[in-house]
Structure 1
Amino acid sequence: MLVLSRRAGESIAIGDDVTITVLDVRGDVVRIGIDAPRSVAVHRTEVLVQVEASNKAAASPDDDVVSSLSQALRKPADEAEAGDEDDRPTA
């Protein structure tokens, strides 16, 4: 990790098209501005972590939900097989 000290109004260039500027420093709060192309994703880390956790939770259903869905999908197949045996012609 590169650690730099900057004062209000000073900037840091990242590559050819990203500039981070220190806008204001008040106590333990630093306001920064980021100038980057729209193709570069810029997110606050705490928000990104929360979104990732939410996406994982949404993509991972409870075991009870999976079990009931599995039973619901098997039930019509079991009923169809039972119906097939009754429809067989007798010799």
Structure 2
Amino acid sequence: MLVISRKPGETLVISENIRITVLSSGNDKVTIGIDAPRDVKIVRQELVETIEANRASAEKIDSDNIKNIANLIKNNKKIENND
């Protein structure tokens, strides 16, 4: 990780087309502005973690649901065969 100190009004340039400007700092908080092309996805880290957790949860639910449905079908066939 590259660590750089910047003052309000100073800018970092990434890949010639992304600019990050420190707008203000204080009270344990830094406000930044990001200028980037529209096709560059910019998301806060906590949202990325939430999205990943939701995907993992959805995959688990899908897997569990498939197993439950398979068991219901098996059990229903056993009941039908016993009639």
Normalised by the shorter chain, which TM-score bucket?
0.7 to 0.9
CA–CA separation in structure 2 for the residues paired with 1:20 and 1:6: 10
After superposition, give the CA deviation of every residue in 1:45-66 in whole Å (9 maximum; x if it has no partner).
0111011101110111287644
After superposition, give the CA deviation of every residue in 1:11-52 in whole Å (9 maximum; x if it has no partner).
000011100000011221000011111111101001110111
Offset, 1:72: 2.8
The number of residues matched between the two structures is 80
Alignment partner, residue 2 of structure 1:
2
- Deviation >3 Å, runs of 4+: 62-67, 73-79
Q: Give the match's secondary structure for 2:22.
A: strand
Percentage of pairs with the same residue: 38
Worse-matched range after superposition: 27-36 or 57-66: 57-66
After superposition, give the CA deviation of every residue in 1:50-89 in whole Å (9 maximum; x if it has no partner).
111011101112876444311233356664xx5xxxxxxx
Could you tell me which amino acid in structure 2 is paired with residue 34 of structure 1? Answer: I
Closer, same or farther: CA 58–22 of 1 in aligned 2, 3 Å: same
Alignment partner, residue 86 of structure 1:
none
Alignment partner, residue 42 of structure 2:
42
Length-normalised TM-score, structure 2:
0.80
Alignment partner, residue 73 of structure 1:
73
* Structure 1 unaligned spans of 5+: 83-91
Could you tell me which amino acid in structure 2 is paired with residue 41 of structure 1? Answer: K
Length-normalised TM-score, structure 1:
0.73
CA RMSD in angstroms, aligned pairs only: 2.3
* Structure 2 unaligned spans of 5+: none
CA–CA separation in structure 1 for the residues paired with 2:49 and 2:20: 22
